[in-house]
Amino acid sequence: MKEITCKLLVIGAGPGGYVCAIRAGQLGVDTVIVEMAKPGGTCLNIGCIPSKAIIHAADDFTKTVAMAAGRNAMGIKADNPAIDLAKTMAWKDGITGRLTLRVAGLLKKAGVKIVVGRAKFRDGKTVAVETETGEQVIRAENIVIATGSAPVELPMLPFGGKVVSSTGALSLTEVPERLAVVGAGYIGLELGIAFAKLGSKVTIVETLDRILPLYDTQLTQPVAKRLAALGVEVLLGTKVKGLSSNGEALLAETGSGEERRIAADRILVTVGRKPVIDGWGREELELDMDGRFLRIDEQCRTSMRGIHAVGDVTGEPMLAHRAMAQGEIVAEIVSGKRRSWDKRAIPAVCFTDPEIVSVGMSPDEAKAAGREIKIGQFPFSANGRAMTLSAEEGFVRVVARADNHLVLGIQGVGAGISELSAAFALAIEMGARLEDIAGTIHAHPTQSEAFAEAALKALGHALHM
């Protein structure tokens, strides 16, 4: 094959990679992107998008079941609800297929050349790609590593058979009667709750003594309450040991030394993700590491000139929108613009029931940093729109400096609260003070009014509580 030369080569077409390539193409940078699977990466194809589709289907199904059982306060009735999971998965696949085609179309529109295959570095400027038609050599002035992450596999529970990762869980065509979930982080709880709503008997096993350890207890309490209401058994302080000899049960040991046998048709392992740092020729380069991640500076530059890295391969938080922001920054830097990376306002969203959002500092983090703070919290039980949605569980909380009222962090838990994440992040990004939020007119009746009321509460004069 004829050798390709370009100004920018992007390895990986996940959120960070494809956004980087599209923006670079828009800026007139001669760009090539290499991807061995479908455009969109984990997030679009086997992560964020398909999981949210299944979560939505599960929400609708559990509401229908409640109507059939006469547990609907609005008087709506339904008869004999059922779910065809294979059809649900086909609907989910249709969504991801449309988005994959759209990403490919946007890359072409931006003038980006797409090479399908597995990339491997020969040196800091040269990459060889294994394609279906042979090896393709690409030489580039600048290279972006956007290889993403993969599920962590437990030695005693290797993936295969009844043991699945989130990818496998999102491809099931039948609802498992009994589902064991290993790990009570956001992936395990999002999918565990969804399958509980679809009809599975779900047991969650977690080594730590709490669920969702990245969020404070006040935020996770409504989720724990909902787990109990759904009949989900949560075993905290419990370690998994492996499968029983006949493979029919998950073996675990509680903190007191008691052995538990958890009967399961499927075992979903969600104990985290690891950066993909092997398989693309890292050994041919001299890249500094930051633990298990590639070390980058404020411009996403690695330790080698001309090589940048974005997304999960560069560290926590492993979030698609973080990768996208980094990808856009790198594209603009390569084009000659002055940009730098600032991660103070990255929203973290957990799509459990209810949902959780956190941006900036929590109260504990602010105090640990030596800040004197004001905290304002407003419950959805006092919000008219939440009442009309039968979604009164949860609250919005604002954390601000005590001296000048600068907002340091915003958190919330409640139905659909993920849609407020942009407002929360914007407030911190723009350097808002409590008075700015409280003085902004929030439409009535909306759940967003709880945001303004939380700021008013921190100022000492909430209007509706």
Active site residues: 444
Beta bridge partners of 178: 201
Q: Which two tokens stand for residue 84?
A: 């065809």
**Backbone CA torsion sign across 170, 174, 176, 177:** positive
Which residues are CB-contacts of 360 (< 8 A; sequence separation ≥ 6)? 344, 345, 399, 407, 408, 409, 410, 424, 428
Q: Distance between CA atoms of 275 and 198, rounded to whole angstroms?
A: 32
290: three-class secondary structure by DSSP: strand
Dist. CA 173–CA 52, nearest whole Å: 17
Distance CA 33, CA 8 (A): 8
- What is the side-by-side strand order in the sheet with 373-379? 348-350, 355-360, 407-414, 395-401, 373-379
DSSP string, 263-281: E-SEEEE-S-EEE--SSS-
User: How far apart are the C-alpha atoms of 416 and 342, rounded to whole Å?
Assistant: 27
Place of tokens 């004999």: 80
Cβ(362)–Cβ(217) below 8 Å: no
Quote the CA–CA distance of 403 and 425 in Å, as a whole number. 21
* Of 170, 180, 184, 189, nearest in space to 352 by CA: 189
CA-based nearest residue to 392, from 416, 421, 422: 416
Tokens coding 438: 């409280």
Match 């956190």 to its residue by tokens.
358
Residue 284 identity: E
Q: Is 213 exposed, middle or buried (0-12, 13-18, 19+ CB in 10 A)?
A: middle
Q: Structure tokens of 362?
A: 């929590």
What is the residue-wise DSSP string for 391-451? ----EEEEEEETTT-BEEEEEEEETTGGGGHHHHHHHHHTT-BHHHHHHSPPPSSSTTHHH
Note if the bond before 222 is cis, omega within 30 degrees: no
The token pair that represents 231 in the structure block:
């009949």
* Positions of E strands within 12-145: 31-35, 113-116, 118-123, 126-131, 134-145
